[in-house]
Amino acid sequence: MASWVLSECGIRPLPRFYPKPTNSLVSNTIPTFKFNPKVTPPPSSLNSRKGFFSKARNWALNVATPLTAPQSPSEEHTERFDPGAPPPFNLADIRAAIPKHCWVKNPWLSMSYVVRDVAIVFGLAVVAAYFNNWLLWPLYWFAQGTMFWALFVLGHDCGHGSFSNDQRLNSVAGHLLHSSILVPYHGWRISHRTHHQNHGHVENDESWHPLPESMYKKLEKATQIFRFTLPFPMLAYPFYLWNRSPGKNGSHYHPDSDLFLPKEKNDVLTSTACWTAMAALLVCLNFVMGPIQMLKLYGVPYWIFVMWLDFVTYLHHHGHEDKLPWYRGKEWSYLRGGLTTLDRDYGWINNIHHDIGTHVIHHLFPQIPHYHLVEATEAAKPVLGKYYREPKNSGPLPLHLLGSLIKSMKQDHFVSDTGDIVYYEADPKLN
């Protein structure tokens, strides 16, 4: 089952800027003028613009039809937007549009979010344990699982360095936040860096990237079904941490994994040790409180958190009403890959999970703190133009996104083995 897994969202210094493309998507449509055929200007006026339009020969006032007649759809020349075309702007243009204060990191503000979320997590657990009522447990599971996801997002900011400019603070806070929800901080941080630096690349991306057709067809039928049949893909994250995605080797817990450089070995060992300590603490609490109580207090919320993580990260790269490109070879660039990501509206959850739905600007500039992402996105929209896809407005809960998820699972199965710009295709036999 581990081979149907993928992952998250992320991170650090950006690659070089790419040259500004010279092609433009601006339409050069020429207006069409229609004149009343009954009115014919004198021959002398045809030889002189001045005579043709002079007040003495004001024949145009007698024309019954408007000077520019409405065009039928067949006559109207429209240029269809190609999301795979190189954009008429570069990364520096987007950066220049974002206010300077959006780049400022406030460690005190970041820590205030940590204090808020941790207080809510413990408060929910105390209330649930006190009442211990089966009518309240489902509400607790959803609320606590959502808060676990919020803790992950704060640790995710630590991994990007957008939490603060102090790397020691980022590391300590990141380990405490991620270890508490059984995520190996440095192992995840490094693989997430790979995701951001290669977003939108068929082979080199790390998270939720498409399978080439040949690899897809080599998967066992059971693996294909698990990979694209809900709810199984939404439970993938722990398995991904252990074994990564199809076609990729290594584990987020092992320092000799293909994911890591030799100099990162100690970081990975530290995070794996913290993860092990948290797992041991949970085992001890099972003996103290009983396995059923621990399952209710921690186990079920943990899997709700996993579902949130897979749900959000998948829909940031899939499920748009229009097919979006994936790139290979010379067609890929950091900018073009980042522009294939999607913003999503999660209603009331936006504030709870720290506006992670504002994902396009986050992917291009992961150094921007989460509390500036909305403002930065609004400032960048005029530059992005049609390359920014406005998210559909959500109700209090993002139930509308379930339809996008289900549709994508039925249609987005693999991409062609050839071509530097490819789009998802569906396997009719699977459906």
pTM of the model: 0.81
Q: Which residues of 164-173 are buried (b: 16+ CB within 10 A; e: fewer)?
A: beeeeebbeb
Give the Cα separation of 353 and 356 in Å (integer). Answer: 6
First to last CA, the chain: 19
- Alpha carbon 27 to its chain's center: 30
Amino acid 341: pLDDT: 95
Q: How far is CA 334 from CA 15, 137, 197, in A?
A: 7, 45, 7
Mean pLDDT by runs of 10 across the 431 residues of the chain is 39 37 37 39 39 38 37 54 93 97 97 98 97 96 98 98 97 98 97 95 92 92 91 94 84 92 96 98 97 97 98 95 93 96 96 96 97 98 96 95 95 95 93 70
Radius of gyration of the chain (CA): 27
Give the Cα separation of 354 and 373 in Å (integer). Answer: 9
Amino acid 41: pLDDT: 43
Tell me the backbone φ, ψ of residue 4, rounded to 5 degrees.
-95, 20
Q: Dihedral sign, CA of 357, 245, 258, 327?
A: negative
Give the Cα separation of 254 and 269 in Å (integer). Answer: 7
Collapsed DSSP state (helix, strand, coil) of residue 327: strand
Amino acid 229: pLDDT: 93
Instruction: From 340, 100, 310, 95, select the one nearest 196 (Cα to Cα).
Output: 340
Collapsed DSSP state (helix, strand, coil) of residue 356: coil
For 377, which DSSP code? H
Amino acid 164: pLDDT: 97
Amino acid 313: pLDDT: 96
The two three-digit tokens of residue 114, written as one number: 């940590």
Amino acid 285: pLDDT: 97
Give the Cα separation of 383 and 91 in Å (integer). Answer: 10
Give the Cα separation of 82 and 325 in Å (integer). Answer: 10
